[in-house]
A and B are shown apart, each in its own frame.
Chain A
């Protein structure tokens, strides 16, 4: 499908409040440039993100989902991000198997001090999403 000009992907971010959310904040405060394509839901921990949230976001029409948490070893709850990592790993592979573009499922580690990295992640993810189609996965109301 040809993308219409000026098409902007919609990205939903689930950001851990202890790190990535603060990182996003910092990116804003320090005026790092990144695309305004992301809507953010603050979560207590990346481990809170049920894969259900991801597929629900896709069902609602978001083009991609980004789950971002603390670096391994830095979880406020010790193991939340490790659990998130396993869950994301199987989710990504499984969703790809059933026919969802891998670009739509994204994950990152962004610490509270990494405003710059957050901007880079969002820029990169947005770019990847632009390279694939607008999310029409669930659009067929047959």
Chain B
């Protein structure tokens, strides 16, 4: 199904949900205020459903809003987002019956930063970006340039193994398959692992020297649902609010450990970072560790216990004396 067909169906479904009182809110995407961008649409008004859109730029993981909205919600969810929703259900943050998931099989989203790098142009200097299956055509000054779609998709989309929502009430479109045979561009886990320990540490030290502690990574993350984050504790004060690299690094490392088994590799933290810190090189690594040690992927089964509360009597404990 084409995006516009999916979009049409989404608008109808969302309108019906509101009209029939099955949900109080619809959370989806609408056209953003800048070229190509989309923006979350949170509404109670059925007329607003005509603004809902589906396109290759629907980046936000909307499940981040679920814990703050009171009432039943109809939410638009891509593969990774649906798993975040499930993860929230696993953690008893939301109830399954309060959520209507309108799932979108996701063929991967276009990373505007990659587009900008590829063409040495800013987003607002481009004419059009049109995806056609595994190609993308980008026009500048009326001239179109053709690239493999893998050049411009987000790293996490390139590595995504579960593009179709796992949990849904309505699936908009046919299930889709992972994109194959691609390497991520920015996430450099293998490379980092191959470097000596001290260099790895220095790499992160440098990266986190830039952090301004805006907490966008945390606030955009559906897995970071704590009422009060440890960074805001004052007694004891674990880390200073002052953005010293040490404290910035501790913040991010602990955030990663705290969301282990909840992180669905949606990539939002890295996308929103205004200082362009390669956060996915941390989150993805944790995702892999969790999978390797416990064969666990976040948000695959709403009835499963959360990773860090579950256990097997015998589990790898070679590191324990």
Contacts and interface: CB of A to CB of B under 8 A. Distances in A.
Contact of B260 (A79, A90, A108, A124): A90
B284 to A, nearest CB: 11
Interface in A80-111: 82-83, 85-102, 106-109
Question: By DSSP majority rule, is chain A's interface helix, strand, loop, or mixed?
Answer: helix
Nearest to A102: B319
B257 A137 contact: no
Contacts of B311: 79, 82-83, 85-86
Contacts of B239: 56, 59
B208 to A, nearest CB: 10
Nearest to B249: A98
B46 to A, nearest CB: 45
A89 B309 contact: no
Contacts of A29: none
Contacts of B192: 97
A57 to B, nearest CB: 11
A16 to B, nearest CB: 13
B21 interface: no
Interface in A13-31: none
B36 interface: no
Contact of B250 (A59, A73, A83, A87): A59
Interface in B254-303: 254, 256-257, 260, 282, 285-286, 289-290, 293-294
A88 B315 CA distance: 12
Given A86-B308, A87-B308, A138 B238 contact: no
B201 A107 contact: no
Given A86-B307, A90-B293, A101 B319 contact: no
A125 B200 CA distance: 24
Contacts of A108: 320-321
A107 B253 CA distance: 19
Counting contact residues on chain B (CB < 8 A from A), the size range is: 35 or more
A52 B238 contact: yes
A2 interface: no
A4 interface: no
B319 A99 contact: no
Counting contact residues on chain A (CB < 8 A from B), the size range is: 35 or more
B253 A98 contact: yes
Contact of A100 (B201, B316, B319): B201
B43 interface: no
B141 interface: no
A97 B252 CA distance: 14
Cβ-closest 9 pairs across A and B: A99-B201, A82-B311, A99-B200, A108-B321, A138-B246, A107-B320, A51-B257, A93-B289, A52-B254
27 contacts: A50-B230, A52-B238, A55-B250, A55-B254, A56-B239, A73-B313, A82-B313, A86-B308, A86-B310, A89-B293, A89-B316, A89-B319, A90-B289, A94-B256, A94-B257, A94-B285, A97-B189, A97-B193, A97-B200, A99-B200, A100-B201, A101-B197, A107-B320, A108-B321, A124-B321, A125-B321, A138-B246
Interface of A: 50-52, 55-56, 59, 72-73, 79, 82-83, 85-102, 106-109, 121, 124-125, 137-138, 140, 142
